[in-house]
A and B are shown apart, each in its own frame.
Chain A
Amino acid sequence: MRLSEYAKYDATGLASLVRTGEVTAVELTRLAHQAHDELNPHINALSNSTKMLRRLLARTKGSSMVCRSFARILEPPKLDASRRREAACSKAIAPTPTAFSFVVPEPLDSALSGEQQRRSSAHPE
């Protein structure tokens, strides 16, 4: 996918492309980095270092995606399933990792696990 094409899609559209296998989450992440590298010197939109994300991304294989914190990655809106996922999962974790999987650096592993448990208890079904 070219950068100009990537920029035309909204998040729902990109998620659909991931779901149908036309693009991978890793490819989208690399496009986002490319866009950042080209444009951020002009607009100064992002200030946090992405070194850790890049390092972790380099270690991933296949269609995995790395999340360095509680940043939330959107699943495509299949809402019947979404409600069930919400009941079962943390807001920080995409629940059906067919396209995404998160490699969370320590010490966030334990924090995410704890949040998942707390989140589940907040959604009694």
Chain B
Amino acid sequence: MTETILNGITRNPWDLKRSTGGSSGGAAAAVAAGITPIAHASDGAGSIRNPASWCGLVGLNPSRGRISGGPDRQDSSFGLSRTFVVCRTVRDMAAALDVFSGPYPGDPFVIVKPDRPYVDELSQPTGRLRIGVARTRWGAVDIEPEVLQAVESTASLLEEMGHVVTDITSPYDTEEFVKILLGLYDLDASALATAARDMGRIVSSDTLEPVSLKFYEKGRNQPLSILKDVLETIRRMSFSVGEAIDPYDILLTPTQPTVAVPHGGIYSLLHPTISAEEFVQQEPALYQHLGVFNVTGQPSVSLPLAQSASGLPIGLQVVGRFGDEATLVRVARDLEEARPWSRRRPDVLAGKQLTAT
């Protein structure tokens, strides 16, 4: 969620009482509201795709190594985190890939170059794909009926397009992912005091959200040996997931199990009473179809293909093979043409008279 002590609460242009998601919620809110057509975003466990889904945008998390983090962030979170944009159209996504992709000296991840520019993929045939569809939950939160209906409808559409659609179950163990997240939080906490000192601040309830402070207190004294365990868990999870989904060219999943949630709930770092342990059990449940592909390094895009009865956006995620953003561009184009979303805009929109909010 994009709710911090430093900058306050970022509000969703579709419903100001609801979250934009996060962590790239400011970028998503700005693009959804028409302040700018495209904005920088980054994704370490769903932070591009989650706000894209809740704000009705296109949000691609590219393959690990597709877009260099150089010169300053070339191995962000051991390769789990990637940088790209949120935008409103598939052609903007393709153009942004062409502009931003490429290596930088010293990059730790090497990736195959595309056969042709990504905007050229917009005019290429998609072919017949083997598609794995997730119609079940992969975490502790149930998929809301309207979200599940959107998955079913899109799976049917892809089948009508000639693709081979097969149901898949969760390819990973949630506890493994929680272990990775907890380890990364602990490592961040152990570095926080130094970072605060460098900025001339102190770690306290005045500078950290209640839940962030609990993570700091929990993780500050953890031994560095946890790093070895985190890296081994990442390796093990990458292998087992890669093996499970190898038969499929792409996957279709919900981006989020729910539509945008109200501010200040159990997913908010501002929550006054929730413990760090409880928070880290809740958060992966919300990102149950997202974080796993940060671990594997695969490209995945959230597309605003549906809308709830109350008018909130519903995003669906399409996941590609590692390094194969080209297929994602073609499939996303097909879906955008079949179920266009450009006319669906929020009430809080540039140039539109605002009603009482």
Q: What residues make up the interface of A, taking CB atoms closer than 8 Å to B?
A: 2-7, 9-14, 31-32, 34-36, 38-40, 42-47, 71-72, 74-77, 79-80, 82-83, 86, 91, 115, 118-119, 121-123
Contacts and interface: CB of A to CB of B under 8 A. Distances in A.
Given A5-B351, A14-B37, A43 B100 contact: no
A71 B228 CA distance: 35
B127 interface: no
B92 A91 contact: no
Nearest to B357: A42
Interface string B205-224: 00000000000000000000
Given A32-B35, A43-B11, A83-B117, A10 B87 contact: yes
Interface in B18-51: 20, 25-27, 29-30, 33-38, 40
Contact of B105 (A31, A74, A76, A121): A121
Contact of A44 (B7, B34, B102, B118): B7
A7 B350 contact: yes
Chain B interface size band reads 35 or more
Contacts of A122: 68, 70, 102-105, 107
A35 B7 contact: no
Given A42-B13, A43-B10, 16 more contacts: A2-B351, A9-B37, A10-B37, A10-B38, A10-B87, A11-B92, A12-B91, A42-B11, A44-B7, A44-B10, A77-B94, A77-B117, A80-B117, A122-B68, A122-B105, A123-B102
B89 interface: yes
Nearest to A36: B35
Contact of A86 (B20, B25, B70, B102): B102
Contacts of A38: 350, 354
30 contacts: A7-B34, A7-B349, A7-B350, A9-B37, A35-B35, A35-B36, A36-B35, A39-B350, A42-B16, A44-B9, A44-B29, A45-B20, A45-B26, A45-B33, A45-B35, A47-B7, A47-B26, A72-B100, A74-B99, A75-B99, A77-B98, A77-B117, A77-B119, A79-B116, A82-B98, A82-B117, A91-B102, A118-B71, A119-B102, A122-B104
A50 to B, nearest CB: 11
B89 to A, nearest CB: 4
Given A43-B348, A115-B71, A10 B7 contact: no
Interface of B: 6-13, 16, 20, 25-27, 29-30, 33-38, 40, 68, 70-71, 87-89, 91-92, 94-96, 98-100, 102-105, 107, 116-120, 345, 348-352, 354, 357
